[in-house]
Structure 1
Amino acid sequence: MAAPSAASPDAKFLALLFSRRAVLLALIVFTAILLLCLFAPLVAPADPMKMSVRARLSPPGGDFLLGADAFGRDVLSRLLYAGRVSLMIGLGVAVLASVAGIAFGLLAGFFRRLDGPISRLVDAMMAFPDILLAIALVSILGGSVVNVIIALAIVYTPRISRIVRASTLVIRELPYVEAARALGSSTRTIMFTHVLRNILSPIVVQATFIFAYAMLAEAGLSFLGVGIDPKTPSWGTMINEGRQYLDQAAFLIVFPGLVISVSVLALQLIGDGFRDALDPRLAKDL
């Protein structure tokens, strides 16, 4: 009888990733939130910008499942449309911070003459609290969606850069990298083929966390009034608008705050799952 074929690497990875039920549940919840926001025009019960004076501050129930805001706009519809902006900001920050962090980290870890200047710059940026640096950058750049993404990407780039630099310093001294040099491989080939491919695991994990941090940061900036244009709905701007009516309609803050909390918690659990599945030492314990 033929021996059973070994499981493919992808199947092993998925098995490790979903070995914890919390990770699977988090992925399902976040995927559901992502799909609902992505297809908001199809699933939203009303026009998020339609106002109704009679429905002003209507409590949840009836024609408004999650209530209506101070202008009589449907809260559920605004949550779905606002989620598109918040999720776009989180994804944009994660991608930009990862690209910039990889570039700086590889240069610092691979070229000794660049290590000092880049490391000092990264240390200087990390000396400032994230939210204060974000406020300063948004104040300089302006409060648009693109500028908020750029500002938060600058804030979180040092996190990726330090991870990439530390991993590059170790990998560049390994025998297979020395062998590649001896065979005449170019510096670019060594950096991207032999170094970067072997440090993608911590980058993916950190990018997942940055996705969550960026969503929280955007909500914080919007709550403080220095984030995106208040006319552009996001979960943060909804909380900022709802705080004026906390005594009359607490649900205006509760629902967007709950969605942010659930989304961030789900992303954190997914990041933990990736870390456990991609780290061989932790994978053995699982």
Structure 2
Amino acid sequence: MAATLSAEPNFFGALISRKSVLVALVIFVAVVGISFLSPLISPTNPDAMSVRSRLLPPGSEGYLLGADAFGRDVLSRLLFAGRVSLTIGLGVAIVSSVIGILIGLLAGFFQRLDTPLSRLIDAMMAFPDILLALSLVAIFGGSMTNVILALSIVYAPRIARIVRASTLVIRVLPYVEAARALGTRTHVIMWTHVLRNTISPILVQATFIFAYAMLAEAGLSFLGVGVDPETPTWGTMVNEGRQYIDQAFFLVLIPGLAISISVLSLQLVGDGLRDALDPRLAKET
């Protein structure tokens, strides 16, 4: 038994065993690092305008990725926008996980709460994500905090369903019944015995929600109902650039590529994380 365990790869080794996951992880870490170091490595102030430089193509007059319609450096804005977009994605992943865990635990552990909470989860998931997000942002107002809150409400049911399903199975296992027989308090059982055994699927789903939230934020910003238009995000850059797509297609292409690369790398990392946490899935695929 000991030999078998010692032969198994560790978690990180299993995570990067697939080359695609390793490459995706490196790319995403690089994107995060570059974005959050933007105040140090940005060539210029992202809001600095120059009328004579408007719509310059990449590589012209020191503008590595060109200049937008106001003569602002696209590279500088891309770096600062990445920090905002990634912050929103991470915030949604964390807040939606907290909300989903609370709802899922209550629904799965207490039978009298299961039906109403399950119907609430089903009702929320019946709406298309972007329509529900649009409605909530319209109610809350457009700001980074409100976008995070709105998208967290949209994606929390995904976490809640996973936690509820796991809780329904775990709550009847012998060690949980033994804890009850010993007089362990309910909240201790929920957090110590139940939640600890649902961490793996929560982490995987949170990774996917991170990616979904970045896409949703870009969609909201593109529609003009996301964060403050003066705050650069990748979605805002695409929205601003679409007016000049015939003259300067790179204004849409560059932030669009940033969104695609970040989301795709996150999705691949999520797949690798799922396989590393549940080797049975890796064998099946």
**TM-score (normalised: structure 1):** 0.96
Counterpart residue number, 2:231: 232
What is the correspondence of 1:110-189 to structure 2 with a 5 Å cutoff?
110-189=109-188
Match of 1:26 among 18, 24, 28: 24
Distance 1:118 1:129 in 2: 19
Distance 2:247 2:181 in 1: 73
Pairwise CA distance, 1:282 = 2.6
Distance 2:278 2:268 in 1: 15
Distance 1:166 1:40 in 2: 42
Distance 2:158 2:91 in 1: 16
Residue deviations 1:145-181 (CA, integer Å, cap 9, x gap): 0000000000000000000000100011111111111
Q: Assess, with a 3 A threshold, how the Cα gap between structure 1 residues 250 and 117 changes in structure 2: closer, same or farther.
A: same
- The answer for unaligned runs of 5 or more in structure 1 is none
The alignment covers a number of residue pairs equal to 283
Distance 2:6 2:182 in 1: 34
Question: In structure 2, the residue corresponding to 1:54 is in which secondary structure?
Answer: helix
Distance 1:37 1:261 in 2: 15
Match of 1:59 among 57, 60, 74: 57
Counterpart residue number, 2:240: 241
Counterpart residue number, 2:39: 41
Pairwise CA distance, 1:285 = 6.1
Distance 2:123 2:251 in 1: 39
Distance 1:7 1:40 in 2: 43
Distance 2:219 2:56 in 1: 26
Question: In structure 2, the residue corresponding to 1:155 is in which secondary structure?
Answer: helix
The CA RMSD over aligned residues, in Å, is 1.7
Pairwise CA distance, 1:33 = 0.5
Alignment pair present for 1:90 and 2:89: yes
Distance 1:121 1:8 in 2: 45
Identity %: 70
**TM-score (normalised: structure 2):** 0.96
Runs of 4+ in 1 over 3 A off after TM superposition: 3-9, 283-286
Distance 1:210 1:221 in 2: 16
Distance 1:175 1:205 in 2: 27
- The answer for unaligned runs of 5 or more in structure 2 is none
What residue identity is the alignment partner of 1:93?
Answer: V
